[in-house]
C-alpha cells in the first residue's frame, strides 16, 4: 500500500474539508448555535435567550470504491480501489466546534463561534495508474493513460472564529422572516496540494518494475505550507498546526422564513444560506507553490520505484528534477491564496403532526473542485424524519452525495447532549461512508 500511496503523491498529489456536518441536529426545531452555523439567520430564532456551546466533534470518511464489508472481508484493498474506469474519489473531513455563545435580544440575535477544520481529499484520480502498480505484474503489461482532468490529492487544516448577527424583519401570528450574516476570521494552518492535468501517457510493467512515459507534456502543481511541507504521510502533521496566524476572511449570508400555526410553533420553516464566501492566504517560512510541465520521454522512462522511500513533496520534486522531467513555468510563490468551499444550502422543515417533523435539505457547491487552489465540497441531498418531545429528540437522516452515494444514519438529543451519524446503518452494510458526531451545549432562559 505504501508504494501505491507514494506513487499517487507523484501523479495526483498527496497532503494530509465540506461534508454536511451535524446532519439532522443542525436543522432541528430546537434552534441553537448548530442551526446558526448552517444559516446565520437562525440566530434571530433561538429557542432560548442564551446558549453556550461547550464542544462538538464531527468526523467523516467517504469514498466511491470500497465499503465497510470490503474492509472486513480480507480483500485486496489496492485492487478494489483501482478497479474499473470510474475516477477514484476519497474524502476525509473533520470539524471541531469549540466554545461558543449565542443570545437573543428583542428582534436581534448574536453569536460567536470557534471551529477547527481538517480535510484530506483524493479527487478524480485515474484508476488505471494505481491498478497498473498494485497488480505488480511479472510479465509485460501496458496501460494507456489519457485523462485531461486535473487529478488532485489535497490537504488543508485551518481554524476560524465566527461573529454572527441576525434580525427578525417580519414577525406576526402567521409569518416570520429573518436575515443574518456571519463574518469568519480565518487562521490558516497547513496546506498541501499536487495536481496533475492533461496526463496522456503509458505505464509499462515487466519483471524490472513499472515505468511511466508521457506522449505529451502534462501540467503539474506542487504546493505546501506549514507542517505538511515536512511530511504528507503522517496525519498528526495536520492536527499540530490547525490554527495559524490571522490571514483570511470569509462570510455566510442567509435568510429564514416560517409559516406559523398561530402559536409558538411553525407549520413550515425554510432557509437559504450561502456559506464560506472567501479565501485565506498561507504565509510560512516553509511555503512552496510552483507550476511545471512534466515530460517523460520513451527514451528515459520514469521508474516508479524511485518513490518508495519518499516522505514529502520536495523529495518528489527533487526526483523529477534530477531525472530531467520537470520544466518550471512560473516562479515559486512564497505566499499563496486558497479559496474556501463556497456552498449553497437550502432546506425546508415540515411539521407533519405535533412532535413529528420531516426536513428536506440540499447542499450545492458553487465552485469546481478541479482548481489547484480550491478546497473541495460535496453536493448533498437529504431527507430527515424527526421526533421531538422537547428534552428528547430522535432522527434518521437519509442522504445521497456525489462521492459515496446513498447513506442512512441515526441520531438523538437528550437535553443539550447529542450523538449521531449520517451513515451508521449503511456503513454496517455495504455503504462507502463512515461518520459520527457528538457534542454538548446548554441553553437557558
Tens of pLDDT, residue by residue over 167-191, are 999 999 899 999 999 999 999 998 9
Q: Which three cell numbers stand for residue 147?
A: 485523462
List Cβ neighbours of 288 (8 Å cut-off, separation of 6 or more).
222, 223, 224, 225, 229, 313, 314, 332
What are phi and psi for residue 397, nearest 5 degrees? -75, 130
Beta-carbon count within 10 A of 404 CB: 29
Quote the radius of gyration of the chain (alpha carbons, Å).
Answer: 24
Question: Helix or strand or coil: residue 11?
Answer: helix
Select from 408, 414, 382 the least CA-distant residue to 396. Answer: 408
Select from 187, 51, 26, 178 the least CA-distant residue to 111. Answer: 51
Q: What is the pLDDT of residue 239?
A: 52
Select from 432, 356, 367 the least CA-distant residue to 399. Answer: 432
Is 347 a residue whose pLDDT tops 90? Answer: yes
Q: What is the pLDDT of residue 7?
A: 43
- With beta carbons less than 8 A apart as the criterion, state whether 204 and 140 touch: yes
What sign does the CA torsion over 75, 79, 85, 89 have?
Answer: positive
Lowest mean pLDDT, pick from 176-185, 300-309, 319-328, 334-343: 300-309
Beta-carbon count within 10 A of 339 CB: 16
- With beta carbons less than 8 A apart as the criterion, state whether 252 and 273 touch: yes
d(CA 278, CA 114) in angstroms, rounded, equals 17
Q: Tell me the sheet residues that pair with 108.
A: 105, 167
2-444 — its CATH code?
A: 2.40.160
| Segments in 209-340 forming alpha helices (H) | 236-239, 313-322
Q: What is the pLDDT of residue 96?
A: 94
List Cβ neighbours of 387 (8 Å cut-off, separation of 6 or more).
355, 356, 357, 393, 394, 395
d(CA 187, CA 189) in angstroms, rounded, equals 6
Q: What is the pLDDT of residue 140?
A: 67
Is 116 a residue whose pLDDT tops 70? Answer: yes
Query: Averaged over 82-92, what is the pLDDT?
Result: 84
Is 38 a residue whose pLDDT tops 50? Answer: yes
**In terms of pLDDT, which residue wins out, 164 or 132?**
164
Q: What is the pLDDT of residue 304?
A: 79
Query: Averaged over 378-388, what is the pLDDT?
Result: 96
**Global pTM?**
0.87
pLDDT digits (tens, 9 = 90+) for 215-235: 999 999 999 887 665 555 555
Helices and strands (H, E) in the chain, number of each type? 8, 23
Is 9 a residue whose pLDDT tops 60? Answer: no
Query: Averaged over 29-45, what is the pLDDT?
Result: 96
At 241, the pLDDT band (50, 70, 90 cuts) reads low
Percent with pLDDT over 90 in the chain: 55
- With beta carbons less than 8 A apart as the criterion, state whether 150 and 126 touch: no
Q: What is the pLDDT of residue 106?
A: 93
At 137, the pLDDT band (50, 70, 90 cuts) reads low
pLDDT digits (tens, 9 = 90+) for 249-272: 999 999 999 999 877 689 999 999
Lowest mean pLDDT, pick from 46-50, 77-81, 133-137: 133-137
Amino acid at each position: 500500500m505504501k508504494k501505491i500511496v507514494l506513487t499517487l503523491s507523484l501523479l495526483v498529489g498527496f497532503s494530509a474539508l465540506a461534508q454536511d456536518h451535524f446532519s439532522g441536529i443542525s436543522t432541528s426545531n430546537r434552534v441553537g448555535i448548530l442551526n446558526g452555523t448552517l444559516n446565520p439567520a437562525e440566530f434571530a430564532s433561538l429557542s432560548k435567550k442564551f446558549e453556550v456551546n461547550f464542544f462538538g466533534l464531527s468526523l467523516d470518511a467517504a469514498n466511491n470504491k470500497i465499503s465497510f464489508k470490503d474492509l472486513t472481508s480480507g480483500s485486496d484493498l489496492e485492487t478494489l480501489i483501482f478497479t474499473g474506469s470510474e475516477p477514484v474519489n476519497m474524502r476525509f473531513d473533520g470539524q471541531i466546534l469549540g466554545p461558543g455563545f449565542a443570545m437573543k435580544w428583542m428582534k436581534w440575535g448574536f453569536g460567536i463561534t470557534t471551529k477547527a477544520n481538517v480535510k484530506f481529499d483524493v479527487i478524480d484520480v485515474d484508476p488505471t495508474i494505481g491498478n497498473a502498480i498494485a497488480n505488480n505484474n511479472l510479465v509485460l503489461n501496458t496501460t494507456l493513460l489519457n485523462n485531461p482532468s486535473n487529478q488532485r490529492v489535497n490537504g488543508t487544516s485551518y481554524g476560524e472564529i465566527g461573529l454572527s448577527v441576525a434580525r427578525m424583519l417580519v414577525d406576526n401570528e402567521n409569518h416570520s422572516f429573518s436575515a443574518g450574516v456571519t463574518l469568519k476570521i480565518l487562521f490558516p494552518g497547513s496546506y498541501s496540494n499536487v495536481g496533475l492535468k492533461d496526463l496522456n501517457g503509458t505505464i509499462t510493467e515487466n519483471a524490472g518494475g513499472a515505468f511511466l512515459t508521457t506522449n505529451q507534456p502534462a501540467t503539474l502543481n506542487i504546493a505546501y505550507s506549514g507542517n505538511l511541507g515536512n511530511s504528507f504521510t503522517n496525519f498528526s502533521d495536520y492536527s499540530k498546526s490547525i490554527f495559524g496566524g490571522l490571514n483570511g476572511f470569509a462570510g455566510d449570508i442567509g435568510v429564514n422564513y416560517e409559516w406559523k400555526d398561530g402559536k409558538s410553533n411553525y407549520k413550515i420553516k425554510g432557509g437559504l444560506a450561502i456559506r464560506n464566501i472567501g479565501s485565506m492566504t498561507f504565509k510560512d517560512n516553509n511555503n512552496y507553490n510552483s507550476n511545471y510541465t512534466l515530460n517523460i520521454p520513451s527514451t528515459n522512462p520514469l521508474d516508479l520505484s524511485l518513490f518508495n522511500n519518499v516522505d514529502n513533496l520536495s523529495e518528489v520534486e527533487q526526483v523529477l528534477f534530477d531525472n530531467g522531467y520537470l520544466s518550471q513555468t512560473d516562479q515559486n510563490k512564497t505566499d499563496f491564496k486558497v479559496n474556501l468551499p463556497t456552498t449553497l444550502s437550502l432546506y425546508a422543515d415540515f411539521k407533519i403532526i405535533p412532535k413529528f417533523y420531516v426536513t428536506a435539505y440540499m447542499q450545492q457547491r458553487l465552485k469546481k473542485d478541479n482548481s489547484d487552489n480550491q478546497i473541495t465540497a460535496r453536493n448533498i441531498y437529504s431527507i430527515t424524519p424527526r421526533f421531538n418531545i422537547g428534552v428528547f429528540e430522535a432522527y434518521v437522516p437519509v442522504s445521497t452525495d456525489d462521492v459515496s452515494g446513498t447513506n442512512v444514519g441515526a441520531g438523538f438529543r437528550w437535553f443539550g447532549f447529542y450523538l449521531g451519524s449520517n451513515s451508521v446503518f449503511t456503513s454496517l452494510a455495504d455503504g462507502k461512508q463512515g461518520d459520527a458526531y457528538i457534542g454538548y451545549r446548554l441553553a437557558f432562559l
